[in-house]
Structure formats: structure tokens, C-alpha cells
Structure 1
Amino acid sequence: MSSIRLRFTFALPDPDPSRQSKVFRAALEMARWGDDKGVDLVSLDEHHASGFGWSCNPILEGGMILAATSRIRVGVAAALGPLWHPIRLAEDLAVVDQMSGGRMTVTLGLGYRPIEYAAMGKDYTRRGRLMDELLDTLLKAWTGEPFEYNGATVAITPRPLTRPHPMILVGGSAKATARRAVRFRLPLQIPEYLPELKAYYEELCREEGIEPVVDMVGEHRPGMVILHEDPDKAWAELGEHLMWEAVEYGAWAAADMRSVMHVRGVTTIEDVRASGRYRVLTPDQLVDELIARGPASSVTLHPLVGGMPIDEAWKCVHLLTDQVVPKLRERQARS
């Protein structure tokens, strides 16, 4: 069956604390609503020193969502691995795994903004080595057995519920990322449609005698979706919110970065619309698209994008749960 997802960044052009509190609480309520209405996953990510209140602790945010729900999963894509203390992250993810029954999946990425490393007191030039140290420590810690760390013998509790460990992926778009995933025998998450990188990872897996597991953006690069009964009207009245995020987030991307999430060089709402990375669809358009792409298709709704008014965001979510999900399930069941 098609995968239905909600994405939240919590970012606002003017992150007034009282307004941002309403956004956090609205996201929690939308996740709770979606849990009862067929939404499969909530997607979160991590950034620091944004100036916009961008999601800075997806493990904490995701844990709160999981505590308020019973079925829905949380996908963190991505947590900035080298900025976390390895023992603390091992403990935090073990607790979330226990409390949620294993409903959190975390992609660990290097990040690409030196300011974030400076803010956390980490050396940006050592980010590859820091990631290796993190992954090595996580995998040792989750066995529950004592191991050496910083000159001391440590063992963490609680142990994760999920065995052999919580679901983690190594994320990135470079060959070094693929080699790292194979070295630690972990799945690879590719944030863009890069079949040559996927093939490289799979070949390395075959050489090592391990089963390759890859999560890669589809060839059609689905982007992020807003639902509205009249897309032209939505672009005219709400397009500024999509454009704000596209401009600000796109400006962060490194020159050599490959990610479906970033839109570079847009200056108008028309540019954002033409990019295809932010899309406004009717419920029927979305259902037709998902059916055409088959049972492995997915959609990510981004209802609170760029300070979208909360009442408009709720209209988008209700179109998803009241129209798209029932129609989609009915048509998929028939086929």
C-alpha cells in the first residue's frame, strides 16, 4: 500500500515564541489525528543556528509524537550524527525505542553547514571521523555488553527493545557515505535519485557478502505536497509560505550537495511552482498519482510549511485523511 507521510520542520519566518508554541502543538495534534486516520509516518529533521526555530532536536520531538500515538512511525531524516554525544544518543534512542515499541527510524547524516558544528563546539573538518566514532559507539552500546569508551569501561541501560538495535541508516549522496554504510553493515539512505550511487553500494555489499538495504528518492522525485481544492488559488494566496521555505532552505545547500529537499536559485513563486519540489494538488490528483505509481508509492504532506496559517494547514490534513486515504485504500483494495 502507498505510504502516507506528514513532514514538520516547525520553522517560521518570524519565530515568535507564542506563535511557535502553537505550531508545535498543532503538529502534535495533526500527528495524533493522523494516527487514527491512516497516516503512516511523521518525518522530522535537524538543524541548528537557523534563526527560524527549525527543528533542532528530532529525537525529543519524535519521542513526544510517539508518546501521544499508538501506531504511526517517526522517521528522522536526518539527525546530524557528529553533533551528538555518542553515549547520550545511544541512551536516548534506546529509551525512545522502548517507550514507542520500536516506532522510530533514524537516518544519521554528516550535515553540510559549518555554523552548526561551530555552535556545537565540533570540528567540521573531522566530521567523517566523528561519524565513524558515533556509529561504532552506538553499535557497541546497544549490545548491552561493557565496552571501552574514552578510557573507561561503560555499559548502557536500558537496552533497546528492537534487536539487534534500533533502525538506523547512514544518509548522504557521496560514495564515502556508501562505503561507511557497508563498513558498519547498515542500510543506506540516499536523499536524491542517484541510481549510480545505489549500484555502487550494492556492489560493495556483494563483495562483503551482506544484503543491501537502500532507501532512495524515487525517479519521479515526488517533492512535498500541499492539498487544496483549487491549486491555482492556493498558489496565489498561500504560495508565499512555500516560497519562503524554498528560498531560505535552498540557500543552505552546499554547491556539490545532491538532495531532493533543496531548491536552488528560486526568486518567485512561479519559480518554486515550476521546480516541482513543492506541489499543490487536489485530493483526486494525488489519488490518481499514487495509484499510477503502484503500491510502493509515497507522498509527504508538508501542511505547516513556512508559517502556513494553522487553519489552512488543518484543511490540508483533513483533505488527506477524509478524502485521499479512504479513496486510495478503496482503489488499491479493488486492484
Structure 2
Amino acid sequence: MRTVTGVPSDQALLSRRRTIELSGLASRSIGLVCTALYAAGIGAMSPGQLASTGMRTASWVAVAVMLCGNLVAVGSLRRPGSRWYELRSTVQVALDVTVICGFVVVSEDLTRETTWPLMALAVVIAAIRQRLPGAVVVWALTSAVFVAAFPHSPDVPFVLGGHLMIAVITGTQSSSLVRHLRTLQETRAALQHQATHDGLTGLPNRAHLAGCADRLTGRPLGVLLLDLNGFKQVNDTHGHAAGDLLLHRIADRLTTAVRGLASPGGETPVVGRLGGDEFLVLLPGAGHDLVAAAGERIREAVRAPADLGDGVRVTVGVSIGVALRPAGGEATLDALTAEADAAMYREKHRRRQAA
């Protein structure tokens, strides 16, 4: 799942935001054109039919405000994952509410036409963008405006009651949809993590490591294949639960050991588990010196005694096989791992001969 500085950018959520912005642009543009034609007296409208200069002025002000709303919508459409999206959405709601309330108050006052049902549109817009809380807030604002402008209108009960029903229905549905999308997003992220990480240690698995290596194709890469010495004895003596705990301890130590070993290009190491007692360390941009430094840190970290509880302390060692891919190299992770495995086998063979 990609992210944009603290803002989740799940594709379903981004798609919903784009749809909202497109529908907002389309509906607002329709209102803008109709209002402009009304103000200009074009088509079915004629200047003589306009109630007053005040109505004409109010219409042109509404056109300007709607144009501002469309400009904000374009920015939101272009960057739906921006940290400013919610603020822009709130601004659009405020502009739309201003236009609708202003039009209703002016038209009902000057033309005596019944236009208060348009206030329901403001409530629906708020529900879509700001869910139930936004719908209720806009219902309260539009109701307050109507009551303040027309306190003795017989339509007051309909404005209050009818629009509250609309706010609750549309706001609840919008909130439910957003919760559903967030649940899907969290489930997708969990499944993605399970597919790319080791269930026992939480380290990246082979698939994740392969993806990292593929993204570094053509660039220098150091690969360290690690195999624990003495791990089988821990399992046989203390049980698999103790062995699993030891693997978890080693995973933490490896992550800590290579921390800070960034390449000259600032790329950080990646520690993963292949399975069993085998681990793999990727060192992007690494040369011989960085690989040697990483190997020393790893050996020192692994051979420290590990406390497994109940008074059990064990010590294991590690065999390390190294493979280096130079700049411009095309070797895959499988090829590099095979090369590192052969180097590790040679190290184990030399150790057995020395013993």
C-alpha cells in the first residue's frame, strides 16, 4: 500500500475521492452555467423576468463562488492523496453551502419562489464529503439560516424535519461506506504483509527480498547468507518453542547489528529470513569494506548468549557466505544466493577441517 506523508492512499479510497471530485465538478458546472444564463437573461430567461438588480447581482456572485469551488476541486482531483485533501473538501462544502443558502434566501425574498428544497442538496454534499458529522453540521447551518431569514414561514417544520432525515440517511450511508473501505484497506495491508514477511520473526521473506533485489538491478549489491551453527542442538535439547524464541532473538539482533551500515548512496540494509535457521542480508550499494564490516557485526551479535527463559541460556554461532554484484551487474537474487551458499559451504568445510 502506497502512502502520502501520513495519508493512506489505498486505491479504493483514492478512487472514491476522484469520483467525488468529478461529480462535484460536473454538478457545480451545471449549476454555474444555469446561474450564469439566468443572470444574463439568456434562453428561457429574459432581463425583464429577473426580479431585481439584487437578484442579478446575487446570481453573478454565486457564479464567482462556484468557479472558486471548481478551482479547488481541480486541485483535489489532481492530488486525491494529498494531506490537504480533507481541508480542500471542507472548503468546497463551505463554498457550496454559501452559494445554496445565499440563492435560497435571495430568491425566496425577492421572487417569492419556493427554493428551500435546494438546501437539501447542501446537506447531501456534506454527507458525501464529510460523512454523518458533516451532514448534521450543514443541516444545522442551513436550518439556522432559513429560520433566521424566514422565521414565520410555514415551511420551517419541513426544512428542519425533512432535511434532518436526509442528513441522517445520507450521512449514515456515507460513513458506512468509508468504514467499509478502511476495513478493506486494513485487510489488504495485512494480507500483503503476510505474503511478504516471515510469520515467526516478522522479517521480510524470500519474495520480499527478491522484490528488493529486482528494484536494485544494475546497481551494486552485497548479499550475506547466514546459517546458524548449533541451532539444531538447541531444538533437540530445549524443544521447538525454545528454538522459535531463539530465532526471534537472532532476528532482532541482526536488524540491530546492520542498522547504520548505509551505503555511500544512503541505502539501508534489509534483513530477511529464508526459512529454518537461514537468514539473508541485502546491502544495497555495498563494496568489500561494507560487507566485511557487516559480517563482523553479525558474528559478534549472534554469538552473544541468548536468554530463553526458565534459566536457559544458549550460545550459537553463524556461518556467513558472501556474494557481491558490481555496478551494472544483472545477477538475480537466486544467482547471488547460490553464490553466497557456495561460499558459506566452503567456510563450514574449512571450520570442520580446522576442528
Whichever structure has more helix as a proportion of its residues is 2
State the TM-score, normalizing by the size of structure 1: 0.21
Larger Rg: 2
Q: TM-score, normalised by structure 2?
A: 0.20
